[in-house]
Chains A and B, each alone.
Chain A
Amino acid sequence: MRDDHYPPGTVTALLETDWVTEPTRQVLQARLLPLPAAPRFFEPKTFALLDAVSKLLVPQPPPVQFVDLAARLDAALLADVGKGWRYDGLPPDKEAFTIGLQGVEESSMLLFNQGFITLAESEQITVLTAVQNGLAPGTTWHYLPAQRFFEELLAAFVELYYAHPLGQEAIGVVAMADKQGWRQIGLDSLETQEPLALKQQTYGP
């Protein structure tokens, strides 16, 4: 599989240019603004757990600029932005996420006798993998389907991340720079605003 890395700053720079339409610029520049660090939907303790989970589900190691995914999910739940459907066996999103995070904590205690955020990363991964596979211990999972909860939480973070200009920058996507349309659309045909992947030796630790 490929492992491309792209130069930082491409999307944020493009947003200032005439490659981007005004409605697109407004939406994406607004999204670049950081959100308040304190949660408004989740309890602080649950939010700390959510934050730890988000960093494992969507890791953002430097030099990629960090996107505050937990804060964005908190804001989305507060705004009650519906997605149009839910699995019949799950309660509404707000409830499902709150209960599911309690379940993650419960499984963590049962597996390692410690709260999730104090676990080593490898242990945290063990807990999350067990939840994803429906194998995590805990009474929570008797009434909340663990696999469905995990899928919903993951999908929510993934959407928030790759809709973010910095998430798109990390994968070299400049779809938003389409004000003039695209003329070079075939294989290996790039236009001037499309970034090339970096050579292997120019990134990494």
Chain B
Amino acid sequence: MPMRRYSVEEVVDAVVIGTGAGGAPLLARLARAGLKAVALEAGQHWAASRDFATDERSQRKLFWTDERLSAGQDPVPFGSNNSGVGVGGSTLHYTAYVPRPQPDDFQLFTEFGVGVDWPIGYADLEPYYEELEEFLGVSGPSSYPWGKARRSAYALPPLPLNGAAQLMQRGCDQLGIRTSPAPNAALSGPYFQEGVGWRAACTNRGFCQAGCTTGAKASMDVTYIPLAIHYGAEIRAESFATRLELDPAGRISSVIYDHHGVEQRQKCRYVFLCAGAIETPRLLLINNLGNSSMQVGQNFMVHTGMQVWGQFAEDVRPYKGIPGALISEDTHRPEKVDFAGGYLLQSIGVMPVTYATQLARGRGYWGEALTRCMRGYNHTAGINILGDCLPYPGNYLELSGEMDARGLPKPRIHFSFGENERRLTAHAEKIMREIWRLAGATDIWSFNRGPHTIGTCRMGHDGAQAVVNSEGKSFDIPNLYIADNSIFPSALSANPALTIMALSLRIADRFLATIQ
């Protein structure tokens, strides 16, 4: 279907900056309501079957590779697996692991007296989780053992278990830890959606983090983006937003963006900033906007995400199957512990370059130690946690004095794990090592990491302490909304993509209700 086009001179209803999990669902919603909506995307609009190779190095084109400076005691590596570029954003390279958060995740302060509560709760997002799981075609178990009882079944049966999942199941069975096939936003069977068409079933390529070539994975480019185009939205790829121009009344009147080196100015009534927890605050700080709370860039979080690897006698071939095939949430609120929050456990497959790089960076292996360990790659399996992470004053994003190729300041991100994360991770490491030992692993080792980018434009009830309200609306600029992982007040002990999408849909619905 041909895409509708709007003129830069025309005052469009909405400019959406970013086309990932934050921007794409909202864009489709606004377009469906009849609004003239234009999305700006810094990266290209790929055709996966033509443009994507089963190759980690060339697929780095899906990662945001503009340089960021990583500071603090636990500097965060960017540019792989936590920030995407291209129509679809980070969903182009997410593993599509989509467990819902549990209701208590939204009330960390009430439960533990640390961190903050969300200004909305599980009940506010539940209908959106249901809608998303149906629309994306989430594959999951017929009954899910943890959290609030589900009101509806997953759209499709679960994806098959790969070697890592079988091994984790074996170890967990012996420890008495319950497991379940995980919910994944990749199709276990062919699936049809109005406005999108048929998507084919997953073929068990384990290269989800290097881009899905078949369209089975529910990245935005094969779900909400075609839906948005179907309803009349325009996608402008290779368009990098640089400035937000205000009218005398303090409303944004146009968005300035760079397209192939030429500056463009799109007039608009509303702006939805969905560029992720690094580029969203960076754009606001560069423009000195929306920051009367002084919270833009603050409260930067990751997830606790330690991985524990082991080698097995069995052939695993960890490049096959959906990487996170198995889940356990028995550790969501573990008893007799010295930390707040909790975590989930997942089995993980891994691509070879990713694994080798971890051996180099995490284990410091080189020479024969490295090449020998890599000769055992085909027998390697991992378990990984995804757990909470508290905000701390010392963890934040700021603009550095160093300019990028566009002449804009590079962001510097300070991050150090705190005591709560160290205790949670130590608890998890012990369990993961025990699971692997019982499953028969040798050469067990751990790689600590902090996946995902969260916080930096916190939502809340109070404009003195938050950047946006519970509906994503800026406290300072009446026609600016933010819908992405930057508005999360706390990290949640579940992978963020599903909740980013749920917030995106909710923010769109609330916005539409106010203008009608």
Do the beta carbons of B163 and A21 come within 8 Å of each other? Answer: no
Instruction: Select the stretch in A84-92, A97-105, A136-144 that faces chain B.
Output: A84-92
B142 within 8 Å of A (CB atoms): no
A87 to chain B, nearest CB (A): 6
Q: Is the CB of A34 closer than 8 A to any CB of chain B?
A: no
Of all chain B residues, the one with the shortest Cβ separation from A57 is B366
B-contacting residues, A34-83, CB 8 Å: 56-60, 81-83
A residues in contact with B376, CB < 8 Å: 1-4
Cβ A163 vs Cβ B55 within 8 A? yes
Contact, CB under 8 Å: A58 / B75? no
In contact, A88 and B162 (Cβ under 8 angstroms): no
Which residues of chain A are near B97, meaning CB under 8 Å? none
Chain B residues closer than 8 Å to A89, beta-carbon distance: 71
Q: Do the beta carbons of B55 and A28 come within 8 Å of each other?
A: yes
Q: Within the assembled complex, what's the spacing in Å between the Cα atoms of A82 and B69?
A: 12
Please tell me if the beta carbons of A86 and B352 are within 8 angstroms of each other in the complex.
no
Contact code string A152-184 (vs B, CB < 8 Å = 1, else 0)? 001100111111000010111101101011111
Nearest-neighbour CB distance to chain A for B458, whole angstroms, equals 23
Candidates B54, B64, B76, B315; contact of A188 at CB < 8 Å: B315
Nearest residue (CB) in B for A197 is B378
* B315 A26 Cβ-Cβ under 8 A: no
The answer on a CB contact under 8 Å between A158 and B359 is yes
Interface: A125 (CB within 8 A): yes
Query: Which residue of chain A has its CB nearest to the CB of B366?
Result: A57
Min CB distance B446 to A, Å, is 16
A186 in the interface, Cβ–Cβ < 8 Å? yes
Contact check: which of A4, A20, A178 meets B379 at CB < 8 Å? Answer: A4
- Choose among B57, B167, B364 the residue that contacts A187 (Cβ–Cβ < 8 A): B167
**Chain A interface mostly:** loop
Is A120 close to B, CB under 8 A?
no
Partner of A159, one of B203, B357, B377: B357
Which residue of the partner chain A has the closest CB to B213?
Answer: A21
Check if B356 is an interface residue, CB within 8 A of chain A: yes
Contacts known (A171-B377, A185-B163); A190 close to B53, Cβ less than 8 A: no
Contact between B371 and A24, CB atoms less than 8 A apart: no
The answer to whether A85 and B373 touch (CB under 8 A), given A176-B55, A185-B162, is: no
Q: How far is the CB of A62 from chain B (nearest CB, A)?
A: 13
Q: How far is the CA of A168 from the CA of B206 in the complex (A)?
A: 16
Are B53's CB and A26's CB within 8 A? yes
Known: A1-B372, A5-B375. Contact between A21 and B54, CB under 8 A?
yes
Interface status of B361 (Cβ within 8 A of chain A): yes
Tell me if B67 is interfacial: C-beta within 8 Å of chain A. yes
Q: Is B314 an interface residue (CB 8 A)?
A: yes
**Choice from A85, A128, A182 contacting B79 with Cβ under 8 Å:** A85
Q: Determine if B56 and A85 form an interchain contact, defined as CB atoms under 8 angstroms apart.
A: no
Q: Which residues of B contact A56 (CB under 8 A)?
A: 366-367
Q: Residue A13 at the B interface, CB < 8 A? A: no
CB distance from A150 to the nearest CB of B (A): 8
State in angstroms the CA–CA spacing of A5 and B374 once bound together.
Answer: 10
Q: For residue B60, which residues in chain A have a CB less than 8 angstroms away from its CB?
A: 81, 83
Complex Cα distance, B361 from A178, in Å, reads 29
- Are A23 and B51 in touch, CB under 8 angstroms? yes
Interface contact B79-A83, CB-CB below 8 Å:
yes
Q: Contacts A163-B353, A185-B162 hold; do A155 and B360 have CB atoms under 8 A apart?
A: yes
Residues of chain B contacted by A24 (CB below 8 angstroms): 53-55
Establish whether residues A23 and B65, one from each chain, have CB atoms under 8 Å apart when the complex forms. Answer: no
Residues facing A in B51-109 (CB within 8 A) are 51-58, 60, 63-71, 75-80, 83
Q: Are B357 and A173 in contact (CB under 8 A)?
A: no
Contact (Cβ within 8 A) A84 B55: no
A3 engages B361 (CB within 8 Å):
no
B479 at the interface (CB under 8 A from A): no
Interface size on B, residues (CB 8 A): 75
Contact B67 A185 (CB under 8 A): no
Determine if B351 is an interface residue (Cβ-Cβ < 8 Å).
yes
Q: How far is the CB of A204 from chain B (nearest CB, A)?
A: 13
Question: Any chain A CB within 8 A of the CB of B370?
Answer: yes
Q: Would you call B335 an interface residue if the criterion is a C-beta within 8 Å of the partner chain's C-beta atoms?
A: no
Which residue of the partner chain B has the closest CB to A168?
B352
- Chain A residues with CB under 8 Å of B360's CB are 151, 154-155, 158
Is A27 interfacial (CB 8 A cutoff)?
yes
Which chain A residues lie closer than 8 Å to B315 at the CB level?
187-190
One digit per residue, 1 when the CB lies within 8 angstroms of any chain B CB and 0 when it does not, for chain A 115-148 equals: 0000000000100100010000000000000000
Distance in angstroms between the alpha carbons of A173 and B379 in the assembled complex:
11
B83, B163, B203, B357: the one within 8 Å of A181 (CB): B203
Chain A residue nearest to B359 in the complex (CB): A158
Determine if B161 is an interface residue (Cβ-Cβ < 8 Å): yes
CA distance A134 to B214 in the complex (A): 46
Is B10 part of the contact surface with A, judged by Cβ < 8 Å? no
Whether, in the assembled complex, B443 has its beta carbon less than 8 Å from a beta carbon of chain A, the answer is: yes
B205 at the interface (CB under 8 A from A): yes
- Choice from B71, B207, B373 contacting A175 with Cβ under 8 Å: B207
Q: What's the least CB distance linking B86 to chain A, in Å? A: 14
Which of B56, B65, B319, B378 contacts A163 (CB under 8 A)? B56
Inter-chain contacts of A180 with B (CB < 8 A): 203
* In contact, B67 and A82 (Cβ under 8 angstroms): yes
Question: CA A56 – CA B203 in complex, angstroms?
Answer: 39
- B236 proximal to A (CB < 8 A): no
A24 to B55, CA, bound (A): 7
A to B CB contacts below 8 Å, 29 in the list:
A1-B443, A3-B376, A21-B49, A23-B213, A27-B53, A28-B55, A57-B367, A58-B366, A59-B371, A83-B65, A84-B66, A84-B77, A84-B80, A85-B69, A85-B76, A89-B71, A125-B367, A154-B366, A159-B357, A162-B353, A162-B356, A171-B378, A172-B377, A180-B203, A186-B163, A186-B166, A187-B163, A187-B316, A190-B317
A residues bordering B, Cβ < 8 Å? Answer: 1-6, 20-21, 23-24, 26-28, 31, 56-60, 81-89, 92, 125, 128, 132, 151, 154-155, 158-163, 168, 170-173, 175-176, 178, 180-190, 194, 197
| 16 further interface pairs, Cβ-Cβ under 8 Å (given A23-B49, A84-B65) | A3-B372, A26-B53, A84-B77, A84-B80, A85-B70, A89-B71, A151-B361, A154-B361, A160-B57, A176-B53, A182-B203, A182-B206, A184-B320, A185-B160, A187-B163, A188-B314
